[in-house]
Chain A
């Protein structure tokens, strides 16, 4: 999935004497993880399509420090945060969109007190507002029409920041057969990756958390599970693989679904 358009960096824009209206914070997963890169590109396509003047930081972006903070390394977190804040302030960034709920939470909640106050939104919120403004509209007879779709709440978007409705509203316009998981919204079950679990093996137990979660998906009889977090994406896909149901259940990000439904 190659993008046919150029993705601008803030440095480039600055060199031309311009400033982006919106910074797209890609995040480490979105930059390096092959599967998450597809989510990143879908978001770029959407931004390009609606004509928002956006840019990425490119090689000037650094991890927000979220995994360090959740793992108890406050020093490393604050080092990362202060370096990022310096870059963001240097470019006079005011508004940020990100595809990762962990970046979203950290940028939005934990940076202000360290000197970095920005308007931070998650990509599901951006897409939802673009739909509300009429700038995005699924094509008639889009690929998801009538499909049974469920949504998995990422902890750092849902419980952590109470963003429950925006991603759901994005899915509602698809004319699909939407179904909730038995544990959803504030009662949603974690995919198992939060709190730096993404970077370690789980403690001994009788089951992996992502398998437990995929069992909820199976129970919902959905054929597509929509995710809104690159870590959830990895965990759900691994769970689906562990259950050997890759043929039956697809894991797609809300941004990918939107891009496809709009024929982008």
Chain B
């Protein structure tokens, strides 16, 4: 009974804290500007099923895709086991679903192999991350906390799966000993190999089984609450993020409607002046981004496929699309905390541009869309980079000198180079 009460308290506490964190993230995302991503729902749903559920873009790199698939399927399916654990915990039952008989045995059989797949994949991931020199796991933005964060997640998953398998092994051994509290249920194709490691006495076995059970469930609840402060939110946000993807061709950039109104008046002074007040052109800080940009930032799991595909990055420039996303998320978190503390946003003399992302980074981009294409969950770092450029150019007139020269050529000659408009068709006579 005591166990049930403790379990109940822990469970409620974990859910409440998670809900609070989820609400905080939701509120932060809502700080973004409006953008309509609710059109063409069928197409969106298909895209989500293909890209998030079906992991289509992961398979550009087959080996990590297969390992990741193991973790992903394992994670999803083992959640059925979690349901049983929660019911057992709340009602003091033991393996409550075992009344399903052979179906239950089949399920446990599958869970065992999936747990093994998760364990195996996470070990390979740890080796890839720390021992092998894989380009996307390097980079200046992936030092310190982000590196620790990634390793912590992998270690947590390894520990959880180890606890799960030891729990099953101890249970299995108790079943073999015909212990009255452990009725025959389940199939243990993986954990049977752990039996030689376990003691023979029933009381110690029960201790191990209970410890592993508690470790597993507390671990899962802790992990749930680790998600919002880690890079690991993609396991949830990948789904909405792909659903709300840009459906237009990648090359199509949004036309700023506030500019359209002003340009129309400039070209035709007889038109009435534009009415809408524009607070700011382009992106200085996270509040100037759209909610989708902000959702992108929370969805990013820092895998670095974007950075490894970025022509600027691989030729040694400072730009890293992954860093753009991490900076956006970190600044948004900071702004969110600022608002929570002060009721509303208090000026802190910081901004996404300069404090987080330097001019050198944004001007190194070739707008080639390789980062957008590479992202397995359809994050768009390019839109943020262009927004920052728009702020630098339209609000501050701070562009590299040669870019300013190109602008003035365009204005004066209708071409980015210094050639006279009248000479444009000279080639026809040459």
Chain A interface residues toward B at CB < 8 A? 2-3, 6-7, 9, 26, 28, 30-32, 37, 40-41, 56, 58-59, 61-63, 65, 67-76, 78-80, 82-83, 105, 109-110, 113-114, 155-156, 159-162, 186-190, 192-209, 211-213
A-B contact count (CB 8 A): 213
| A197 and B366 within 8 A (CB) | yes
| A82 and B264 within 8 A (CB) | yes
| A72 and B393 within 8 A (CB) | yes
Residue of B nearest to A206 (CB): B316
Given contacts A56-B425, A194-B366, contact A199 B386 (CB under 8 A): no
- With the chains together, A73 CA to B421 CA distance in Å? 21
Given contacts A76-B411, A159-B370, A202-B317, contact A71 B406 (CB under 8 A): yes
* Interface secondary structure of B, over-half rule: helix
**Shortest beta-carbon distance from A39 to chain B in Å:** 11
| B251 and A37 within 8 A (CB) | no
> B402 — which chain A residues lie within 8 A by C-beta?
199-201
| B260 and A114 within 8 A (CB) | yes
Any chain A CB within 8 A of the CB of B392?
yes
- With the chains together, A30 CA to B416 CA distance in Å? 12
Which residues of B387-430 have CB atoms within 8 Å of chain A's CB atoms? 388-394, 399-400, 402-403, 405-407, 410-411, 414-417, 419, 421-425, 427-428, 430
> B312 — which chain A residues lie within 8 A by C-beta?
203, 205, 209
CB<8 Å pairs between A and B, sample of 10: A58-B424, A73-B399, A79-B266, A114-B255, A162-B249, A201-B402, A203-B319, A204-B318, A205-B315, A206-B315
Chain B interface residues toward A at CB < 8 A? 60, 248-253, 255-256, 259-260, 262-264, 266-267, 281-282, 309, 311-312, 314-319, 360, 363-370, 372-373, 386, 388-394, 399-400, 402-403, 405-407, 410-411, 414-417, 419, 421-425, 427-428, 430
| A70 and B267 within 8 A (CB) | no
| B425 and A9 within 8 A (CB) | yes
> B319 — which chain A residues lie within 8 A by C-beta?
203
> A105 — which chain B residues lie within 8 A by C-beta?
249, 251-252
> B311 — which chain A residues lie within 8 A by C-beta?
189-190, 192, 209, 212-213
| Nearest 8 Cβ contacts at the A-B interface | A160-B251, A72-B389, A206-B316, A195-B367, A205-B316, A109-B252, A190-B368, A62-B414
> B428 — which chain A residues lie within 8 A by C-beta?
3, 6-7, 56, 58
| B367 and A70 within 8 A (CB) | yes
Partner of B309, one of A79, A110, A187, A194: A187
> B407 — which chain A residues lie within 8 A by C-beta?
68, 71, 73, 76
Given contacts A63-B416, A199-B403, contact A68 B317 (CB under 8 A): no
